[in-house]
Structure 1
């Protein structure tokens, strides 16, 4: 992960933008409603997150300009739905966000090599951006690497960008050091592990109050508890959902000791198990109302 990406992640962790919260809410609750949420319901849900109606409308306007949301009618009510193709993107993201996989040292690596004519420099930037967003490490400007489990996801991302024909994929194993110490050094070169570890540590610290609030507490049972769970869960997921894309699931054996990514993953899994159900009950009640 680059230093710039780490700085962006730190800023997002400090205070999620209204647009980020709206995307989280749509990702969680819109697909069961055909990708559509009524404007009134969205405003009420964002109100529970401390966003005023004017802030919701402003954020939605920016998301519409980006093609993330579209205005539609739900019966006689105004509503928004996800832009074309985004339900597929959200569905693909579910596995990465909720069930991130960590590779083992014996698993193969995926090498992605590409060459783009100078006349198509914008496409070259698109390809590099796609690999960065998927968590690939850069061996050289035209050669990128990640655990082989990311191949299908990478192919889909490149196909959507119209760049699949410029990239060749290879499955490989590291042959220079059977003990693994050589690969540990290469991993530290190809990924900014220090910045990534710091980003995970910020997530853990940022969720400290949420963890303390729910740790050892009985499962939420009242409407008030469900509303509190909704607020904490949407914030939790908004902070978390970028992290599995910065970390491609590098083998733990190649990572520094006391790697905060493992701590963060356990924390998210525990809070997700406790809060997701009550949060959904609250959201569905608000949307039905």
Structure 2
């Protein structure tokens, strides 16, 4: 499985682009409105053709994530909706600040009950807890490292699911070592495979950039956007468990370092390419 390359869909790449380069700036407090022609050029740099961009933009518009607007100069374009900016802002701490080296803080329990006549909300609640990095400890009882508390509270309140959930913070006092229990609560083999897929695709890119003396803006933009698009899903699948509870040589530590290295090396140069495309 580790030789599988991550898939970059046009819709995901557009969301990644706006998350990296389309939000609040001093001259545009509400975030950037990107002309559709410029968005097509910017996505062409990562291999997406014009019809695919237009189709993905239409789907994101229907979902309420992009809103039509006029860019500076009057060109037709799209900006982020308030809901989309909130979602991206919520994700920043996960995506840009890994917490996998934490060794203390305890656990967060989410205990929920949803009436049968609202079972569609039960599915939504489970899927959101999974996306926040929770593992299933028992029916109706999900567990995560305590550091996800604020994000969990915010997410459940925003989705109007908080009335179905009680949150508790505590310690594991069970009858098996916590490291063994963690293996029941999360599929660690599947998580490790996802990290290895990321490393196979992007660790060689970091090594190539380490040998380069210059940082061409378009090359930096392409490699950074693809790395971010691969990486941004991982911190949600992997909740950032303490390393003392993980198998030896856990690949998540290395993949976090690779992404941090690419972010530090490439993001600023990539922004120069975006600024030029929007000028």
Q: TM tier, shorter chain?
A: over 0.9
Q: 2:65 aligns with which of 51, 57, 68?
A: 68
The answer to whether 1:258 aligns with 2:249 is: yes
Counterpart-to-counterpart distance in 2, 1:37 and 1:21: 14
Does the CA contact (< 8 Å) of 1:227 and 1:282 recur in 2?
yes
SS at match of 1:165: helix
1:200 shift after superposition: 0.2
Shift of 1:110: 0.5
Distance in 2, matches of 1:87 and 1:219, equals: 33
Contact 1:219-1:274 within 8 A present in 2 as well: no
Q: Alignment partner of 2:167: what SS?
A: strand
Aligned to 1:95: 93
* Equivalent residues in 2 for 1:13-28, closer than 5 Å: 13-28=5-20
Please say if residues 66 and 84 of structure 2, whose CA atoms lie closer than 8 Å, have aligned partners that are also in contact. Answer: no
1:213 to 208, 212, 217: 208
Give the match's secondary structure for 2:241. coil
Note the aligned Cα RMSD (angstroms): 1.9
Query: For residue 192 of structure 2, what is the aligned residue in structure 1?
Result: 197
Matched residue, 1:236: 227
Once the 2 structures are TM-superposed, how far is the Cα of residue 102 of structure 1 from its aligned partner? 2.6
The aligned counterpart of 2:125 is 127
TM-score, L = length of structure 1: 0.89
The structure richer in helix per residue is 1
Deviation at residue 14 of structure 1 after TM alignment: 2.9
- 3-state SS of the aligned residue for 2:153? helix
Q: Does 1:45 align with 2:46?
A: no
Residue 149 (1) aligns with residue 144 (2): no
d(CA) in 2 for partners of 1:131, 1:176: 23
Cα deviation, 1:6-29, whole Å, max 9, x if unaligned, reads x9xx98x53200111111111111
Q: Deviations over 1:180-218 (max 9, x none)?
A: x70000000000000000110010001144123212322
Instruction: Provide the rounded CA distance (Å) in 2 between the counterparts of 1:246 and 1:103.
Output: 16
In 2, the alpha carbon distance for the partners of 1:82 and 1:141 equals: 37
Give the alignment's TM-score, normalised by structure 2.
0.92
Deviations 1:113-166 (A, max 9, x none): 011111110111111111000110100120011111111101111112111011
Question: Please, which runs of 5 or more residues in structure 1 have no aligned partner?
Answer: 1-6
Cα deviations by residue, 1:76-110 (Å, 9 ceiling, x for unpaired): 21010112321121112111101121364432110
